[in-house]
Structure 1
Amino acid sequence: MSHDELSPLGDHSLQPLITVSDLVMPHELEGDGPDRKPPLGERLRRYSPVRILMGLMVLGGAGSLAAWRIHQRIIDAAPVHATYFAPYVDATLSPTYAFQDPTQNDAKQTVLGFVVASGTNGCSPTWGGVYTPSAANQDLALNSRLAEYASIGGTAIVSFGGQAHTHLSMACTTPTSLAAAYQQIIRQYDQHIVDFDIEGPALTSQAATLRRAAALSIVAHEDPGIQIWLTLPATPQGLSDPGIAAIRAMLLKRVPLAGVNVMTMDFTSTPGGLVQTAESALTAAHQQLTTLFAEYRIPLNSHQIWNHMGVTFQIGQNNVVGQRVSLQGASQLVAWSTSQAIGRVSFWSLNRDAPCAASLANEAVYSNTCSDAQTAPLAFSSEIEHQIPASVQRGRGLIQVTTTVSANPANAPFPIWSASFPYPAGYKVVWGGYIYEAKWYNQGQQPTQQFEYAYQTPWELLGPVLESDHAPTLPTLPPGADPTWEPTVTYQPGQVVEFEGLPYQAKWANQAQSPASAMADPTISPWQPLWSYPGEPPLTATN
């Protein structure tokens, strides 16, 4: 299968799991003896005749079975490390900022933004939509400045995306072309850490989310040591649903993540002030990640999750009028972040870490080249460096879910999802090695389908199929318990037959229509299975 195909099954073809539990046998019913055959109504009550949704079955015979075995681990798991400082620089803003000059930037890591799609050539990486890598070297002397920064021990981190311009994930139409665009920059600048600032349409687009995850799966496969940060906007209540979807897409594609960087800026409201709102947003995001990682059985404790998080705030006046981070506020937020063992602290931007001229010294005016909250150059950088002295980024391990396929069918406890089956609320299925439960009646909606908001999906992820999971044994009726189905017989509504050891009831008159059709498409099949599968909701009066 090519990388452009976004099937959650990868290269593996799964056959259905056909198992049943709690099938009540005739001799188990109360009566005069073990051989008594009860009335049909009693048998229906005991058999729980709910339409059985069993997954993909090859009609006319039993197909081979396969199950998923899931292993979760943290790749190169590392202990909790000290917080490091990595300010952003707008690499294409005029006047050009001298991030390579230690008198202008004392941080040991600097995030350079932003690599986006070309304004003229679509799926071609550029700096700011204008400079190709060669043009950036020619016009901005970027290669020389990067070499100078490296010579004094600095690490430059390229950031893809940002608030403006078209993201590569929107311009590139396939995962392979998107991966190639990412790899061009990664190799050009010998990147070991990369940042993806995902905002605007690139965040809310389901197609872009899937392409990005598939592309970064390719990148990570070809460069296993790459450290990938996702930088995502937040609300006072934490990460948005599209932000969670972006992380989930990465986990589903087995993309190893270095961390999630939370942008605490430009809130719609700031109850208690901007700094307190930022702390609340980070705390909520931490809880969201705790829940999400638990779903994928990623064994990180609270401190380790904080250590895989970052915070980025905007110094001085923010884009939203009335929202402003003072020098004191920045100091408070950094102190709080380090007390939580947050892995990374960033701000936007070094270009702005300078006092504004008198004409711009107004809280309501936003400038790209100064902030209104300081009287000395590099005041914010100096304050943060004072709290996080000579901070150097160290490997924190990569968050990753790794799956392997087991040939042992005893591992998967529920049926494989099928597009042809109508699933009632509460029904459990296996898809892509994970167990999902239907939140409401649905048909044809794949459990891994991405939605803009979490509440829109009809499936709830319960967790992976574990090695310790097993499928229940399929019991069969004893010979003669019911008449064996015959293709030459015309069956009337309500008649019960045995087919491959299991009971079925005719829903309407039919002839030569095999009960196997109930497993192909139960909606149009004339047969109703009279047995239940684990995960199927209990029979109710409305079934």
Structure 2
Amino acid sequence: MHRQRIASVVAAAAVAAGAALAIAGHSAASAAAGTALSSNWYASAPYLMPQSNNPPDPVAVMAATGQKAFQLAFILAPSGGGCTPTWDGTSAVSSDTAVAGVIDRIRAAGGDVSVSVGGYGGTKLGQTCANPADTAAAYQQVIDRYGLRAIDFDLEEPEYENDAAMTNELGAAQILQRNNPGLFVSVTMPGTSAGTGWFGTQLLDKAKGLGFTPDNFSIMPFDGGFSGAASQTAALEAFHTLLMNHLGWDSATAYAHEGFSGMNGKSDAAEYFYQSDFQTVLDYATGHGLGRFTFWSVNRDRACGASADNGICSNVPQNDWDFTKFTARFAGATPPVTTPPVTTPPTTTPPGNSCAAAPWNATTAYTGGAVVSYNGHSWTAKWWTYGDIPGGAAGVWTDNGAC
């Protein structure tokens, strides 16, 4: 995911004081604005980047889908270091008015927001703050600034693999939960076919050791060799078993604290998830009583046009906001009806169907999921590789067949 004066001392002081008053006033207004939504809306809030990836108008999305809440992303440590919250590592929360304005518009339309901390890129506060208390204090600034009723801890590499950082993040989440009664707290982590990987199980064990129980633990079953809904529901079922085994929960409790965080359309690893896949996973989630159903991201929830940039469109046939309607349904809403999209091939050909992929190059390093053409066949890398010939003895490449 994620994915940038000449004045007298007296005059400068007056300007600074005025700005501080304006920000403080806006903070108070933002905190008071709107009415808290029921928890099902925060559990369904899809991710939206308010400052990057060609942000859509959230109010227009609300009107078209019935969705009332959004997961605004991401809060990071300053790119230059420190333990204060910023948007995307560049915009200080303390002086923000741009995102606050977006939140005010959503609330004026009857909705609300959660804020996600962490994500895939940048430096996380858990990595730069000294301890859980300091980390919590940084996040408390975000809660106070925007009057938040929900927060998401999106814990990914490399922070996810850093024990001290995980202690800071989970400890901070526990402190925030205790100090902000009613705060909806979600924890999101990478998914694998086994539910989650070794670091994910370590995360669950650490949470249990702290006595910390968020509203849900969610996995992201994409960018890991997934193919459609069946692989995702299998991962969710495996994760359900991990929740029972590592946290000592019975089956119903584990399902109620389990969440799905998908990716709409073409994933970063060239996996494809269509509306039919979302429907299948939604049916699984509602049928098993899962506690969360969301996706990355609203910025991508539109058909590609002149640009096939995977950050701003899905690369599958769709009407704008088709995938957001699934989160609205999870929350219990009935979205407005739109004409189904015309079924046409993806703008980027799925793996295995064409030799349109670039030819294999012996001097190029490939990551898992990379697709190449070689000797009239299409091949997909199973993992990172350099210099291994498709079809060679190393077994790195999966043969997708002739093309």
Q: TM-score range by the shorter chain?
A: 0.5 to 0.7
Aligned to 1:293: 247
More helix by share: 2
Instruction: Please tell me whether residue 106 in structure 1 is matched to residue 60 in structure 2.
Output: no
Partner of 1:46: none
Q: Which letter maps to 1:279?
A: T
8 Å contact 1:88–1:347 — kept in the other structure? Answer: yes
* CA drift at 1:388: 5.2
> What per-residue deviation string (whole Å, max 9, x for no partner) do you get for residues 70-118 of structure 1?
xxxxxxxxxx989952211012214333223433663122111100101
Partner of 2:54: 95
* Equivalent residue number for residue 284 of structure 2: 336
Which residue of 169, 172, 190 maps to 1:212?
A: 169
Q: Does the 8 A contact of 1:265 with 1:318 survive in 2? A: yes
Q: CA deviation at 1:265?
A: 1.0
Flag the structure with more relative contact order, 1 or 2, with Cα contacts below 8 A and sequence separation at least 6.
Answer: 1
One of 346, 369, 377 as aligned partner of 2:320: 377
Deviation of the 1:208 alpha carbon: 0.7
SS in 1 for 2:63: coil
- State which structure, 1 or 2, has the greater radius of gyration over its C-alpha atoms: 1
> Is 1:367 aligned to 2:326, yes or no?
no
Q: Which amino acid aligns with 1:334?
A: L
TM-score, structure 2 as length reference:
0.68
The aligned residue for residue 198 of structure 1 is: 155
* 2:42–2:114 contact (8 Å) kept in structure 1: no
SS in 2 for 1:289: helix
Q: 1:105 to 1:113 in 2, by over 3 A?
A: farther
The DSSP-based 3-state class of the residue aligned with 1:91 is coil
Partner of 1:144: 101
Q: Please, which runs of 5 or more residues in structure 1 have no aligned partner? A: 1-79, 295-299, 361-365, 392-543
Does the alignment pair 1:277 with 2:225? Answer: no
Q: 1:95 to 1:329 in 2, by over 3 A?
A: same
- Structure 1 residues 145, 287: closer, same or farther in 2, change over 3 A? same
Counterpart of 1:100 in structure 2: which amino acid?
A: V
Q: Amino acid of the residue matched to residue 69 of structure 2?
A: Q
Q: Residue by residue, what CA displacement relative to the aligned partner does 1:108-132 show, whole Å, maximum 9, x if unpaired?
A: 2211110010112421110111111
Cα 1:98–1:105, aligned 2, differ >3 Å: closer, same or farther?
farther
Quote the RMSD (CA, aligned, Å). 2.4
Partner of 1:235, secondary structure, is: coil
Does 2:90 align with 1:157? no
Q: Which residue of 2 aligns with 1:486?
A: none
State how far apart, in whole Å, the 1-side matches of 2:89 and 2:228 are. 32
- Whole-angstrom distance in 2 between the partners of 1:111 and 1:208: 22
Give the TM-score normalised by structure 1.
0.51
SS in structure 2 at match of 1:123: coil
Residue identity matched to 2:272: R
* Structure-2 separation of matches of 1:228 and 1:151: 23
State, as a whole percentage, how many aligned pairs show the same letter: 25
The answer to whether structure 1 residue 181 and structure 2 residue 130 are counterparts is no
1:236–1:281 contact (8 Å) kept in structure 2: yes
Distance in 2 (alpha carbons) for counterparts of 1:194 and 1:214:
14
Letter of the aligned partner of 1:341 in structure 2? G
Q: Give me the whole-angstrom Cα distance separating, in 1, the residues matched to 2:140 and 2:307.
A: 44
- Of the three residues 183, 187, 192, the one matched with 1:235 is 192
Aligned residue runs from structure 1 range 332-481, under 5 A: 332-357=280-305, 360=308, 367-385=310-328, 389-390=332-333
SS of equivalent residue, structure 1 residue 311: strand
Kindly indicate whether the alpha-carbon contact (under 8 Å) linking 2:45 and 2:327 is maintained by their aligned counterparts in 1.
Answer: no
- Count, aligned residues: 295
Change (3 A) 1:105 1:159: farther
Q: Contact 2:85–2:125 (CA<8 Å) still a contact in 1?
A: yes
Following superposition, the deviation at residue 301 of structure 1 comes to 3.5
**Pair 1:133-2:93 in alignment:** yes
| Matched residue SS, 2:85 | strand
Q: CA deviation at 1:387?
A: 6.4
State the partner residue of 1:225.
182
Relative to structure 1, is the Cα distance of residues 308 and 82 closer, same or farther in structure 2, using a 3 angstrom cutoff?
farther
Q: What SS class does the counterpart of residue 239 from structure 1 fall into?
A: coil
